[in-house]
Structure 1
Amino acid sequence: MHPRLHPLTLALEVAEKECQQAHQVVLRLQHQMDAARAQARQLDDYRRDYQQRWSERFRIEGTAPILQCYQDFMARLDQASTQQQATVQRLQHHLEQAQQSLRERETRAASIRKLIERRQGELALARQRQEQKLTDEQAARMAWSRGAADSGDLALA
């Protein structure tokens, strides 16, 4: 690696490490989000089942104290469901931010990679030009030497 590229390779290493860290955050948040959604579904399913069971029971027998307990419990289930939905929304927001951060870090790493490639191309082109210049100079010296030798041969004849 050319010494001029060393700072860029260090920057690329840092950018790639940041990408990996951001990717881990996205995965962790995605896992939390999946768990929170599953829990919200479970709460909703339980609420629906509970409501069905007690609706049937109230048709058969229903006293005011039992109805009050049912309504209190349903209110707590509604509250738990609302809180869980808020958790899902909060996690969704954090996940979207983390995904945006990951995209930005990936873009930065890709930009640094592209810059390294460009600089490598520039260095290779400069090296080719230098080699061509040396080859041209060597060919010119040889031609000059031959020309000088040829003119010396003519002078001797």
Structure 2
Amino acid sequence: MPTPNDALDTLAARLREERDQALAQLRRAEQQLQGVMRQSEQLDGFRGETLQRFGAAEGQATSPDQLRHLHHFIGRVDEALLQQQGAIEQARKRCERSRALLVGVELRLASVDKLLARRAQQAAEIQRRREQKQSDEFASRSAWNRLHGEGAAPGLH
């Protein structure tokens, strides 16, 4: 016959699995965030290097076409950086949602674990009382037997 703790044990096991999945999801979201942040840093570094190279070549004759191409190219890199910022923001939101999901599961699991611990403590207390009652009854019977001479020879009291 199933006990109330069986249902709680099953729930706790399911919540542990859910927690593990939520933790794995959070780790994936954090890795994705780090990846898009690295890409953004690389794009920004590339932009800076390109401008630096152009600045180093400033003493050389630059045609209007070259300047136009450079501005167009930097504009495209800036657009890519803006897109990366959007990707970073989306990845941050995924991390926040994943973290909130994990916290919720952990709170539910902690509640169930606390309830299981409380029930185990109550069961242990009931068992302790039962054992104490048996011990008291044994001691009482032993004392009664000594006082009333059960097992003693007649007339020796």
Q: Normalization by structure 1: what TM-score?
A: 0.84
Q: Distance in 2 between matches of 1:144 and 1:53?
A: 105
The Cα of 1:3 is off from its aligned counterpart by: 3.2
1:1-157 matches, within 5 Å, as: 3-145=3-145
CA deviation vs aligned residue, 1:130-152 (integer Å, no higher than 9, x gap): 222233334444444555557xx
Q: Normalization by structure 2: what TM-score?
A: 0.84
The Cα of 1:15 is off from its aligned counterpart by: 1.2
Q: Distance in 1 between matches of 2:42 and 2:36?
A: 10
CA deviation vs aligned residue, 1:80-137 (integer Å, no higher than 9, x gap): 0111111112111211221222122222222222221111010010111122223333
Q: Distance in 2 between matches of 1:45 and 1:26?
A: 28
Percent identity reads 28
The Cα of 1:50 is off from its aligned counterpart by: 0.6
Query: Counterpart of 1:60 in 2: which secondary structure?
Result: coil
Q: Distance in 2 between matches of 1:7 and 1:145?
A: 47
Q: Distance in 2 between matches of 1:146 and 1:62?
A: 119
Count of matched residue pairs: 154
Q: What CA RMSD, in Å, does the superposition of the two structures yield over aligned residues? A: 2.5
Q: Which runs of 5+ in 2 are unaligned?
A: none
1:96 maps to a residue whose letter is E
Query: Counterpart of 2:62 in 1: which secondary structure?
Result: coil
Query: Counterpart of 1:108 in 2: which secondary structure?
Result: helix
Higher helix share goes to which structure? Answer: 1
The Cα of 1:44 is off from its aligned counterpart by: 0.3
CA deviation vs aligned residue, 1:3-24 (integer Å, no higher than 9, x gap): 3321111111011111100110
Q: Distance in 2 between matches of 1:91 and 1:47?
A: 23
Q: Distance in 1 between matches of 2:45 and 2:98?
A: 30
